[in-house]
Structure 1
Amino acid sequence: MGSIEVHILGQKYIIKGDAPPEYIQQIANFVDEKLKEVYKISPDITPLKAAILTALNIADELHRVRHEYNSISQGIKNIENKADSIIRLFD
């Protein structure tokens, strides 16, 4: 398990984990950018509220991506089932 120093909103954090340091840095940069977006819209917001709004925004993105993935996955299953039905017609 390694550790890496990252900066989020100018604050230094030491993150420990099994993931490669480049990945951890990439995730930290993502969080930093999302927090900056919240502060751009609401510059006087408290850090706790900014963190909560950022978490909600990230959770919303994740939920939407999962929903899209599930829809695409279901569509692929439907196509595979139809293809199997058509193939059976030729057997």
Structure 2
Amino acid sequence: MGKNKVNVKINGIEYTLTGNEPEEYLFSIGNFVDKKIKEILRSNLNHSNTSATALAAILIADELFKLRREFETLKQVSVEPKIKLEELEREYEKLFEMYNSISDENNKLRQENQELLTTVEEFKSHYQEVSMTVDTYNEQLDALQRQIDDLTLQKQSLENEVNQKESDIEELKDKLLEGEIEIVRLKKELKEARDFNKKSFYNRG
């Protein structure tokens, strides 16, 4: 895939930007840097183009560093919900296994109960015991079902939280990439401005 190439003007000087990103993105980078430098020049008329460029680079670097810190903080914050989610998933699986085990046992007891119904008079006492056992298992199943429902809600809530944190992280990654690209462009511009000033100085000499 070929790289995109666009021409942008930064502080009156035309530059060619190339990259894999869309042309609109490359234009936005150049316009952002141009706006930053012009704001500095308007705010203080004593600034030269070189000093304004350097100050713009410093301001963008400051934004980049702050975004990096925020990115790292969000990464750390997102770890805890993931760990809790994993713990809940393990507990959920354990309870679900217990639920299946008790459900299977309950089904067996129900089947046994149905068989015993044919000989109720002869095995009445045994039937009553089994019925009590079935009721106990039903109570346990109901309790486990409530726990599973609660865990399902918690799991969904944590999944939503993790998805939101990951979305925030991806957004910060995009901002970091934009900041890093801007710094590279500004370094290039600063170097060109310095070279130009040196050349002008030697020409005057």
TM bucket normalised to smaller: 0.7 to 0.9
Corresponding residue for residue 68 of structure 1: 70
Structure with a larger share of its residues in strand: 1
Corresponding residue for residue 52 of structure 2: 50
Sort the Cα spacing of 1:87 and 1:14 in 2 relative to 1 into closer, same or farther, 3 A: closer
Larger Rg: 2
Structure 2 portions without partners, runs of 5+: 95-205
Distance of 1:3 and 1:28 partners within structure 2: 12
Q: Deviations over 1:51-91 (max 9, x none)?
A: 11100100000110111111011101012113333444553
Task: Give the superposition deviation at 1:43.
Answer: 1.9
Alignment TM-score, normalising by the size of structure 1: 0.82
Sort the Cα spacing of 1:41 and 1:83 in 2 relative to 1 into closer, same or farther, 3 A: same
Structure with a larger share of its residues in helix: 2
Distance of 1:10 and 1:51 partners within structure 2: 12
Aligned residues: 91
Alignment TM-score, normalising by the size of structure 2: 0.40
| Secondary structure of the structure 1 residue equivalent to 2:68 | helix
Residue 39 of structure 1: which of 32, 35, 41 is its match?
41
Structure 1 portions without partners, runs of 5+: none
- RMSD over aligned CA atoms reads 1.8
Aligned letter for 2:70?
A: E
Corresponding residue for residue 188 of structure 2: none
Distance of 1:83 and 1:3 partners within structure 2: 45
Q: Which has the higher contact order (CA 8 A, sep 6+)?
A: 2
Aligned letter for 1:33?
A: K
